[in-house]
């Protein structure tokens, strides 16, 4: 109890911070010489670091440059870069001048980014490199409001496509040295800090307006629920344009003084985990699902005894977890855990750096099976729930009250209840100010009493744990009248490493079908194993492949009701991506777009019915 009290007393409170840039200033004052950020220096090919004081000096330089652009408080500036200390410095400099920051996804389609820039009236845009601006050149007329484009990395002045008066290299734009004190012109915690455009699985994205207080209150509440401290080291790899990462992986660590290391890329994540050896991770389910699939793929190549030993270790480990959560009893097998931990769990955890205390999952539903594996190996995985409109966290499990099938209890200061059609309603200081230039959408989302309609269907148990059971707009209604939420079934199928992406279809149809994208490496093994030709023009072999896939899908979805039986399956030869417009920047399926692209294939699946 005393340790927890000491931890909370060392955290910067909402009142002490007042604003997001005030939070930064308070952290610099408290921890000037402590390491704030670690990053990979590609020139030296080694990891470097910034102390809080060095970050403060960097912020001052960015402020001087911004001040020369004739910007006034309330003007919008945007950043479209991968996570790095400069991302933080730019935002803190802008916030300190009263500017409103708009984060953009680096892998978003340029047309989407241009829409946001135009809709928000962005005046200055920070990009990482020249190739990004090259994409904007073709649609230059759609971003005419930009008065300045800053490229972090140097570019060749001879490049004809970059001969634009608004484009400048950060090296030329920034003053060469420390340039005085950092300014903090805004003292109103309820003023607009950022506009975050929701990715939108259909239609144009909406700009979510979040105040300084929205985000600060949410970060502080998260720290009350999660025991993060100044001793922790987080490896950041979700984009900072994702509100989950921005609140929980940037502002909350700043509040408690934890260190953040920025991963180089997802393909290099495993190497970075072993090098940085973080104590905490924040991620969306897909990363954990990939680790899960990798574990099972390796087990499939090993001996039967190795598989048995692994499964036994997970079983014993999960039983111990249930006992610790006061939902189970001590078993004789628990005395074997130290041995199983050494033989099995430690080897797996070593690939994740070997120091993780717990990991957090949000942004989408995490399957119980994936969660069970991590927990059974001794790594608590804490699932939470939220949305951009709630800054984003509304609910979270706790280490000592972890119900993996749920998204936990509301975080401190946040209320939840069920509304019409069991929609989850959220109210608290974290609920957005509204949608930018869209009062009609704001009125539809937030009731006069301040309840935000999440659009998700939920249940709440007697202890207050919230379980998300579906999405109001993503329910498939079969022609028989049966209603099927697709997310759970899709997650069950994706546990098989053969499947890279899947989408359940069947709206107004007599039965369910699946469109699937196969993992390229696994697909080659699959084709060789069954002796089939995966050329889609070969109808006979295509039919055989679909029959085999359907058998696999049926096994993985056998736990679902009989009316939810999947009867047909088809393979998409092209992966669904942000680039081809079939995924949002947060990697959610644009279901309508996928169906439009594969309409002929879908018609074939239902021919004759």
Confidence of residue 380 (pLDDT cuts 50, 70, 90): very high
Reported as type and span, the H/E element at residue 569 is strand 566-571
- Residues 63 and 92: their CA atoms lie apart, in Å, by 9
Check residue 85 and give its pLDDT.
Answer: 98
Place of tokens 């079908």: 513
For residues 542 and 434, state if they share a domain: no
Sheet containing 566-571, strands listed edge to edge, beginning at the edge strand earlier in sequence: 499-505, 512-518, 566-571
Q: Are 578 and 492 in contact (CB under 8 A)?
A: no
Strand (E) or helix (H) holding 57: helix 52-67
Least confident of 302-316, 392-406, 412-426, 589-603: 589-603
3-state secondary structure of 518: strand
Q: How far apart are CA 339 and CA 345, in angstroms?
A: 10
Task: Return the pLDDT at 6.
Answer: 83
- Range from 102-106, 158-162, 272-276, 500-504 carrying the lowest mean pLDDT: 158-162
Same domain, 89 and 215: yes
Do 550 and 598 belong to one domain? yes
How much of the chain, in percent, has pLDDT values that exceed 70? Answer: 97
- Asked if residue 390 belongs to a domain, the reply is yes
Contacts of 184 (CB under 8 A, 6+ apart): 19, 21, 22, 25, 96
- Cβ neighbors of 606 (< 8 A, separation 6 or more) are 509, 510, 513, 568
By percentage, how much of the chain surpasses pLDDT 90? 69
pLDDT band at 293 (very low <50, low <70, confident <90, very high): confident
Q: Does the pLDDT at position 113 exceed 80? A: yes
Average pLDDT in the 237-251 region?
A: 95
Least-confidence region, from 147-156, 362-371, 406-415 = 362-371
CATH number at residue 80: 3.40.50.12780
Which region among 193-197, 309-313, 362-366 has the lowest average model confidence (pLDDT)?
Answer: 362-366
The torsion region of residue 466 among left (phi > 0), alpha (psi -120 to 50) and beta comes to beta
> What is the C-alpha to C-alpha distance for residues 564 and 56, in angstroms, rounded to an integer?
56
**Other CB atoms within 10 Å distance of the CB of residue 440:** 8
pLDDT of residue 541: 81
Last residue of a domain, one of 472, 490, 525: 472
Q: Find all residues with CB under 8 Å of 9, minimum gap 6, and list them.
A: none
- The verdict on residue 270 lying in a domain is no
pLDDT at 403: 96
Does 489 share its domain with 438? Answer: no
- Same structural domain, 432 and 485: no
- Per-residue pLDDT at 200: 56
φ, ψ of residue 107 to 5 degrees: the values are -100, 10
Q: Is residue 170 part of a domain?
A: yes
**240, part of any domain:** no
User: Last residue of a domain, which of 172, 198, 221?
Assistant: 221
Q: Is the CB of residue 85 less than 8 Å from the CB of residue 55?
A: yes
Q: Are residues 502 and 454 in the same domain?
A: no
* Class of residue 367 by CB neighbours under 10 A (exposed 0-12, middle 13-18, buried 19+): buried
Distance between CA atoms of 298 and 313, rounded to whole angstroms? 16
User: What is the distance between the alpha carbons of residues 104 and 239, in angstroms, rounded to a whole number?
Assistant: 9
- What is the span of the domain harbouring residue 402? 284-472
Distance, in Å, from the CA atom of 254 to the CA atom of 247, rounded to the nearest integer, reads 10
The C-alpha atoms of residue 401 and residue 396 are separated, in whole angstroms, by 10
Same domain, 592 and 467: no
Helix (H) or strand (E) holding 15: helix 14-17
| Domain shared by 407 and 479, yes or no | no
pLDDT at 586: 77
258, part of any domain: no
Mean pLDDT across 161-172: 82
Q: Is the confidence at residue 191, as pLDDT, over 60?
A: yes
Q: Which residues pair with 457 in a beta bridge?
A: 423, 470
According to the model, what pLDDT value does residue 547 have? 92
For residues 40 and 163, the model is more confident at 40
DSSP string, 100-118: EEEE--TTS-HHHHHHHHH
Q: What CATH number does the domain containing 559 carry?
A: 3.30.300.30
What is the SS3 string spanning 369-420?
Answer: HHHHHHHHCCCCEEEEEECHHHCCEEEECECCECCCCCCCEECCCCEEEECH
Contact 196, 102 (CB under 8 A): yes
Distance (Å, rounded) from C-alpha 502 to C-alpha 556? 13
User: What are the φ and ψ backbone dihedral angles of 168, each rounded to 5 degrees?
Assistant: -145, 150
pLDDT number for residue 482:
72
* DSSP conformation letters of 342-358: IIIIHHHHHTTTS--SE
Instruction: Say if residue 142 is in the same domain as residue 42.
Output: yes
234/246 Cα distance (integer angstroms): 13
CB-based contacts of 531, cutoff 8 Å, min separation 6: none
The band of 102, judged by pLDDT with boundaries at 50, 70 and 90, is very high
What's the full length of the chain, in residues?
609
Instruction: Taking residues 33-41, report their average pLDDT.
Output: 97
- Phi then psi dihedrals of residue 428, to 5 deg: 170, 180
Phi-psi category of 340—alpha, beta or left, where left has phi over 0 and alpha has psi -120 to 50? alpha
pLDDT at 589 over 80: yes
Q: In which band, very low, low, confident or very high, does the pLDDT at 207 lie, cut at 50, 70 and 90? A: very high
In this model, does residue 160 exceed pLDDT 80? no
* pLDDT interval class at 608 (50, 70, 90): low
Cα–Cα distance measured from residue 575 to residue 396, given in angstroms and rounded to the nearest whole number: 32
CB atoms within 10 A of CB 554: 14
- CA distances 155 to 134, 159, 170, 172, Å, are 11, 8, 10, 11
SS3 of residue 259 by DSSP = strand
Among 169, 202, 221, residue at a domain's last position: 221
For residue range 52-87, list pLDDT tens digits in order. Answer: 999 999 999 999 999 999 999 999 999 999 999 999
pLDDT band at 165 (very low <50, low <70, confident <90, very high): confident
Question: Do 481 and 519 belong together in one domain?
Answer: yes
Tell me whether residue 82 is in a domain: yes
Give 598's contacts (C-beta < 8 A, 6+ positions apart): 515, 570, 572
pLDDT digits (tens, 9 = 90+) for 431-479: 999 999 999 999 999 999 999 999 999 999 999 999 998 877 777 878 7
**Domains in the chain, number:** 3
507 and 360 belong to one structural domain: no
Q: With respect to residue 565, please indicate whether it lies within any of the assigned structural domains.
A: yes
Chain segment 322-379, per-residue pLDDT in tens: 999 999 999 999 999 999 999 999 999 999 999 999 999 988 778 888 899 999 999 9
Q: What is the sign of the dihedral through the CA atoms of 494, 499, 505 and 510?
A: negative
- How many C-beta atoms lie closer than 10 Å to residue 43's C-beta? 6
- Kindly state whether residue 404 falls inside one of the protein's structural domains: yes
Ramachandran bin of 543, using left for φ above 0, alpha for ψ from -120 to 50, beta for the remaining angles: alpha
Average pLDDT of the segment spanning 292-314: 91
Q: Are 446 and 415 in contact (CB under 8 A)?
A: no
Please tell me whether residues 458 and 558 are part of one structural domain.
Answer: no
């Amino acid at each position: 109890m005393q340790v927890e009290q000491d931890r909370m007393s060392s955290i910067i409170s909402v009142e002490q911070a007042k604003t997001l840039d005030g939070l930064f200033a308070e952290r610099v004052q408290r921890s000037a010489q402590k390491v704030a950020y670690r990053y990979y220096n590609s020139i030296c090919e080694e990891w470097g670091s910034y102390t809080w004081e060095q970050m403060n000096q960097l912020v001052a330089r960015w402020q001087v440059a911004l001040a020369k652009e004739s910007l006034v408080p309330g003007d919008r500036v945007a950043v479209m870069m991968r996570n790095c200390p400069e991302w933080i410095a730019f935002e803190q400099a802008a916030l300190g001048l009263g500017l409103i920051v708009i984060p953009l996804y680096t892998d978003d389609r340029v047309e989407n980014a241009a829409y946001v820039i135009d809709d928000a009236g962005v005046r200055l845009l920070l990009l990482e490199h020249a190739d990004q601006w090259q994409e904007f050149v073709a649609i230059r007329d759609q971003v005419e409001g930009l008065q300045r484009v800053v490229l972090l990395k140097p570019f060749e002045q001879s490049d004809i496509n970059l001969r634009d008066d608004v484009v400048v290299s950060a090296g030329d734009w920034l003053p060469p040295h420390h340039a005085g004190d950092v300014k903090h012109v805004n003292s109103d915690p309820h003023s607009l800090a950022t506009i975050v455009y929701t990715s939108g699985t259909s239609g144009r994205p909406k700009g979510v307006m979040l105040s300084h207080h929205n985000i600060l209150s949410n970060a502080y509440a998260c720290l009350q629920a999660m025991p993060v401290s100044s001793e922790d080291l987080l490896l950041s790899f979700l984009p900072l344009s994702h509100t989950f990462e921005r609140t929980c992986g940037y502002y909350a660590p700043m509040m408690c003084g934890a260190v953040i290391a920025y991963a180089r890329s997802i393909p290099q994540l495993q190497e970075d985990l072993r090098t940085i050896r973080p104590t905490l991770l924040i991620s969306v389910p897909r990363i954990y699902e990939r680790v899960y699939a990798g574990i099972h793929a390796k087990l499939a190549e090993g001996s039967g005894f190795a598989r048995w030993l692994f499964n036994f270790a997970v079983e014993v480990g999960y039983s111990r977890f249930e006992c610790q959560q006061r939902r189970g009893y001590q078993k004789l097998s628990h005395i074997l855990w130290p041995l199983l931990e050494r033989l099995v769990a430690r080897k797996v955890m070593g690939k994740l750096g070997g120091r993780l205390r717990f990991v957090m999952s949000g942004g989408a539903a995490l399957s119980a099976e994936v969660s069970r594996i991590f927990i059974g190996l001794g790594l608590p995985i804490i699932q939470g729930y939220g949305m951009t409109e709630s800054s984003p966290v509304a609910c979270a499990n706790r280490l000592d009250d972890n119900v993996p099938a749920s998204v936990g209890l509301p975080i401190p200061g946040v209320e939840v209840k069920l509304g019409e059609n069991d929609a989850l309603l959220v109210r608290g200081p974290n609920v957005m100010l509204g949608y930018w230039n869209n009062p009609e959408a704001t009125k539809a989302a937030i009731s006069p009493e301040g309840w935000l309609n999440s659009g998700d269907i939920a249940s709440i148990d007697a202890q207050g744990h919230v379980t998300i059971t579906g999405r109001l707009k993503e329910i498939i209604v079969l022609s028989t009248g049966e209603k099927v939420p697709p997310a759970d079934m899709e997650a069950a199928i994706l546990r098989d490493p053969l499947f890279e992406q899947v989408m359940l279809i069947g709206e107004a149809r007599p039965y369910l079908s699946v469109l699937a994208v196969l993992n390229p490496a696994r697909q080659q093994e699959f084709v060789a194993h069954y002796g089939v030709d995966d050329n889609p023009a070969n109808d006979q072999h295509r039919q055989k492949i679909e029959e085999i896939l359907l058998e696999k899908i049926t096994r993985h979805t056998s736990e679902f009701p009989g009316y939810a039986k999947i009867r047909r399956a088809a393979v998409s030869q092209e992966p669904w991506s942000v680039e081809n417009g079939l995924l949002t920047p947060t990697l959610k399926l644009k279901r309508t777009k996928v169906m439009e692209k594969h309409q002929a294939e879908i018609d074939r699946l239902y021919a004759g019915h």
